[in-house]
Chain A
Amino acid sequence: MSRNLQEAKRRTLRHTLLIVGLMSLFVFALVPLYGVLCDVTGLNGKPRNAPQRTVDISPDTSRTVTVEFLASVNESMPWDFRPSVARMTVHPGQVRQTSFVARNRSAHAMVGQAIPSVSPGLAALHFKKTECFCFTEQKFISGEEREMPLVFMVDKDLPEHISTVTLAYTFFDKQKVVD
């Protein structure tokens, strides 16, 4: 009787520990799952940070979309960062080029990484970049100022009700992240 009870207790103990173990793995599995989900759906306004091919490049001239550019630096990073133009009017399907200007105000060389964010979030999937300074780290020597190109296209699948898309870049101090 008591031996059976011991065995039964152990069995229940094992299954509860299994649940604890699986849930512990699950929470860390959530991290890549979340990334994949956001990549596929573009839900969190996180556009793909790699060059994208633009297959159909015939512009839809019947429709215009305003693209606004924002630029900021993270925390107390001693850089100036601004878009060359604040906004552009584009046709969906049209490939356009613009640039951003950054300057390292500090007394030493620094490496920065620009992270884009698109709002409204649902537009992120439809904002395609073929060339961008944000794909790679940017090294600036002290006092260096540089204009950095961005080639982009808003694709024709952009939902009808979206007429303004905002692209915001934040420059992050890469060293600070690494240290």
Chain B
Amino acid sequence: MTTATTHDTHHEEHRRGLMRWITTTNHKDIGTLYLLLSLLMFMVGGAMAMVIRAELFEPGLQFVEPQFFNSMTTMHALIMIFGAVMPAFVGLANWLIPMMIGAPDMALPRLNNWSFWILPFAFTILLSTLFMDGGAPAGGWTMYPPLVMQTGNAFPFLIFAVHLMGISSIMGAINVIVTIVNMRAPGMTMMKMPLFVWTWLITAYLLIATMPVLAGAVTMLLTDRFFDTSFFNAAGGGDPVMYQHIFWFFGHPEVYILILPAFGIVSQIIPTFSRKPLFGYSSMVYATASIAFLSFIVWAHHMFTVGMPLTGELFFMYATMLIAVPTGVKVFNWVSTMWRGAMTFETPMLFALGFVVMFTIGGFSGLMLAMAPVDFQYHDTYFVVAHFHYVLVTGAVFAIMGATYFWLPKWTGHMYNEKLGKLHFWLSTISVNVLFFPQHFLGLAGMPRRIPDYSVQFAGFNEISSIGGFAFGLTQLLFVYIVFKTIAGGEKATDQVWEGAYGLEWTLSSPPPYHSFSIAPDVK
């Protein structure tokens, strides 16, 4: 009760203007900041992708130097992973977790402010490397030594930017865990939590377990370069392959960090528009936890070609294929949820359905890559590029866009333009397949990734892929327009917004009050 009264006295007393956003500790404000940063980074990373696709439109060197091209691929990945997808999920967590579990705010509001405001500095540092002597990092986002050691003045900036992103993610994850463990409304037991909250809890544990590993790996790179250590330097008795092991020990859980919250989002959207509760709730929870556990023992499938003994290859191959089981459980649960449901196809549902279909395509190409003997052919080709773009663009990004359409009316109090939303979905879905599907064929035919020029035999599919790329890029401007149009105004949204919506966040007004659930709700 005491907290409730303090909050009431604070009510509407928050600062106005710029200082409100800099000093805010309100979970809704911070969620908004994260989401806007993510949208900005999505556009920046997208612009880099446009440079890549323009250069690859036809064979030969057209627009950019090979070094700059490699900077584009490297920076595109870093910006999209750490700048677009991860902050988008943290933003959604900030907005939604307190409203979903009936908490007044995140558990550690000041930490929350800090974890956001580190990010603009991290990305300023990272993007500033584009203007440095020696250019931006160009050795790939995986930062493998010895190649990454050839980075010019940008090198320490790259490392410190990664450190800052890591610190921000760790703080965000700690906040999520402390909130979910301690701040649930009375009656909100663990097994009653919405699946988005569950997937985020598990993601947060993955984050605090793996971000220190990435920080350690890049710190070793830093000391190898500047302080004469030889962690990865063969001349001093080190081993560059060890970097790959450490990196992917972080890197594989990281790819689940990028997809588990998307699973949560889809598990919220599909029951709403099927007007049925989620099929197999508890199996969804256990499947998520299994995926998280398995993610720690499959890392070497990223490095089948480094020369491992047969037993090693077999272990990592089987362990990787095992992940298909809990993932399959999820896909079947989503399909079963829709089975005989009274389905309608508003924009969020379209994105969720697109997610289920196209994420599964990415999952299947993942299974192909998991087979050690065939991976020797696919390794570092466009097949890999096609695979991870199916799981990350039509997977993670589609889920984030679905979430935006789903909760935007709740956040802003305005309905978005349904016609434009559907247009955005269909244009995105068609163009993204034109963009990435031909890359499977390019990869199978042997086109290597991370190259600015290619043999003429690959010209046809690259041309198609680039056309799809430009169309997908342009379509996202429509998304930006729809979002800002909805923030500015529009048809008034009801509190429940969607007919089939279920959960605490839908009991609040649209938009919700600045301080919601100051008095904990009763959960039946």
Chain A residues at the B interface, C-beta cutoff of 8 Å: 1-2, 5, 8-9, 12-13, 16-17, 19-21, 23-24, 26-28, 30-31, 34, 38, 41, 43-46, 49, 74, 113, 115, 119-122, 170, 172-173, 176-179
Contacts and interface: CB of A to CB of B under 8 A. Distances in A.
Interface string B222-256: 00000010110111110101100110010000000
Interface stretch (B124-132, B173-181, B400-408): B173-181
Contacts of B230: 177
B189 interface: no
A13 B108 contact: yes
A20 B177 CA distance: 13
Contacts of B2: 1-2
Contacts of B242: 30-31, 34
B178 A9 contact: yes
A5 B182 contact: yes
Nearest to A117: B234
A44 B245 CA distance: 12
Given A24-B216, A27-B213, A44-B241, A115 B309 contact: no
A122 B309 contact: yes
Given A2-B2, A27-B216, A177-B228, A170 B234 contact: yes
B17 interface: no
Contact of A26 (B170, B213, B235, B241): B213
A121 B309 contact: yes
Q: DSSP majority for the A interface?
A: helix
A24 B65 CA distance: 39
Nearest to A121: B307
Interface of B: 1-3, 107-108, 170, 173-174, 177-178, 181-183, 205, 208-213, 215-217, 220, 228, 230-231, 233-237, 239, 241-242, 245-246, 249, 307-309, 312
Contacts of B239: 34, 38, 44, 46
Contacts of A26: 212-213
Contact of B182 (A8, A21, A41, A115): A8
B234 A115 contact: yes
B373 to A, nearest CB: 17
19 contacts: A5-B182, A9-B107, A9-B108, A9-B178, A13-B108, A16-B208, A19-B205, A19-B209, A23-B210, A27-B216, A30-B242, A41-B309, A43-B309, A44-B307, A113-B235, A119-B307, A120-B307, A122-B309, A172-B234
Contacts of A8: 181-182
Contact of B228 (A27, A74, A178): A178
A170 B209 CA distance: 37
Contacts of B235: 74, 113, 115, 172-173, 176-177
Nearest to B231: A31
Contact of A23 (B208, B231, B241): B208
A77 B485 CA distance: 63
A33 to B, nearest CB: 10
A77 to B, nearest CB: 10
Q: DSSP majority for the B interface?
A: helix
Contacts of A38: 239
Nearest to A171: B235
Given A34-B239, A43-B308, A20 B212 contact: yes
A16 B178 contact: yes
Contacts of B236: 172, 177
Closest CB pairs A-B (n = 9): A27-B216, A172-B235, A23-B212, A24-B212, A12-B178, A16-B174, A27-B213, A8-B182, A12-B181
Nearest to A28: B216
A46 to B, nearest CB: 7
Contacts of A119: 307
B233 A30 contact: no
Contacts of A24: 212, 215-216
A2 B209 CA distance: 29
Given A30-B249, A178-B228, 20 more contacts: A1-B1, A5-B183, A9-B107, A12-B181, A16-B208, A17-B174, A19-B209, A20-B174, A27-B217, A27-B246, A30-B242, A30-B246, A34-B242, A43-B308, A44-B239, A46-B239, A113-B235, A115-B234, A170-B234, A176-B235
B108 A20 contact: no
Residue among B3, B174, B245 with max Cβ neighbours from chain A (10 Å): B174
Contacts of A19: 205, 208-209
Contacts of A30: 242, 245-246, 249
B294 to A, nearest CB: 18
A42 to B, nearest CB: 9
Residue among A16, A121, A122 with max Cβ neighbours from chain B (10 Å): A16
Contacts of A176: 235
A78 B44 CA distance: 45
A13 B212 contact: no
Nearest to B146: A75
A35 to B, nearest CB: 8
A108 B259 CA distance: 57
Nearest to A21: B212
Nearest to B214: A27
A109 to B, nearest CB: 19
A118 B134 CA distance: 36
B237 A115 contact: yes
A48 to B, nearest CB: 12
Contacts of B205: 19
A24 B212 CA distance: 5
Nearest to B236: A177
B209 A23 contact: yes
A12 B183 CA distance: 11
Contacts of B213: 23, 26-27
Nearest to B217: A27
